[in-house]
Amino acid sequence: MNDDAADILAYAAEWARAGGWVARRRFGSATASRKHDRTLVTDADHAVQDLLLDAIVKRFPSHAVLTEETMRRPDRHAAIEAAEWCWIIDPIDGTRNYWRGVPSFAVSVGVLRSGTPIVGAVYAVMTDQMFTACAGGGARCDEVQLQVADGPPTHETLIGSPSGHGAAMPATIHEWLDRMTLRNLGATALHLALVAAGALDAAFCLECRLWDVAAGALLVLEAGGRFTDLNGREYFPMSRSQTAARNEMPFLAAGPNLHRHLLESWRRRA
């Protein structure tokens, strides 16, 4: 862990927690609207994001930022295509849960350096758990070192699953549901944090983007797991243009042995 990364991790965790406090104060009273893609956003999402953006630009003015929600003043930050460091923010991961009063959501803050995740902080707001990782320094929940679970697939295997609205789920997912236990917490960053902690054995997602996974992917990797696309290809490092593209990033995350089993079953059905 180099000094730059350790310094940035401390700020990322501090600001993720501060954003979580803003979200918690507004829980149950936030107002929601629809974005152009018909997904939900609340005034609390913007309040948390504004807090994070203000903090980043004051402390790290040469860093770029990629966020889920529209930035009010994007010109304050360095261009993603030019900056060595890029912060990846999901101010409230699990907005639908948050808006409906389901206490399962997180603030996710990841930092890439030259396209590689270096720092990740996922703050589980309602349980007051801070999951952090720094490249080469392992992953932790508060002060507890994390290690992925990696047993063979059985009916006891817990897999974090997307909600399933939209297109029909692929046949592989039905096979997994018959053989294992699927859980949906409504927040991708939480799924990945819990894979890192060994509470979930695996997680997958078909429709997510970089802000959903930048912090959580590093948690899984630093806890000894794998994070790949659904063909087993690594996502990182990515180019600056890929970082800026906001493309979908379907993924499979698990311990190495379970990842291999799940990937093989996915390929058989693909």
pLDDT on residue 167: 67
Based on the number of CB atoms within 10 Å of its own CB, is 96 exposed (0-12), middle (13-18) or buried (19 or more)?
middle
CA–CA separation, 166 vs 145, rounded Å? Answer: 37
CB of 266 closer than 8 Å to CB of 172: yes
**Is the predicted pLDDT of residue 126 greater than 60, yes or no?**
yes
Three-state DSSP state, 259: helix
For 5-34, what is each residue's pLDDT tens digit? 999 999 999 999 999 999 999 999 999 889
**Is the predicted pLDDT of residue 229 greater than 70, yes or no?**
yes
For 241-257, what is each residue's pLDDT tens digit? 999 999 999 999 999 99
**Is the predicted pLDDT of residue 2 greater than 70, yes or no?**
no
Q: Which residue has the higher pLDDT, 35 or 249?
A: 249
Read off the pTM: 0.95
pLDDT on residue 169: 77
Indicate the CATH number for domain 3-145.
Answer: 3.30.540.10
Greatest distance between any 2 Cα atoms in the chain: 51
**In the chain, where are the structural domains located?**
3-145, 158-269
CB of 191 closer than 8 Å to CB of 185: yes
Q: What is the mean pLDDT of residues 203-225?
A: 96
Long-range pairs for 125-130: beta carbons < 8 A, 24 or more residues apart: 125/20, 125/23, 125/24, 125/27, 126/24, 126/27, 129/193, 130/13, 130/16, 130/17
Indicate the CATH number for domain 158-269.
Answer: 3.40.190.80
For 49-97, what is each residue's pLDDT tens digit? 999 999 999 999 999 999 988 888 889 999 999 999 999 999 999 999 9
Q: What number of CA atoms fall less than 13 Å from residue 131's CA on the CB side?
A: 33
CB of 253 closer than 8 Å to CB of 204: yes
**Is the predicted pLDDT of residue 147 greater than 60, yes or no?**
yes
For 160-180, what is each residue's pLDDT tens digit? 998 766 667 788 888 888 889
The interaxial angle of helices 256-269 and 171-179, nearest 10 deg, is: 130
CB of 263 closer than 8 Å to CB of 220: no
What is the rounded average pLDDT for all residues in the chain?
93
CB of 269 closer than 8 Å to CB of 262: no
pLDDT on residue 164: 63
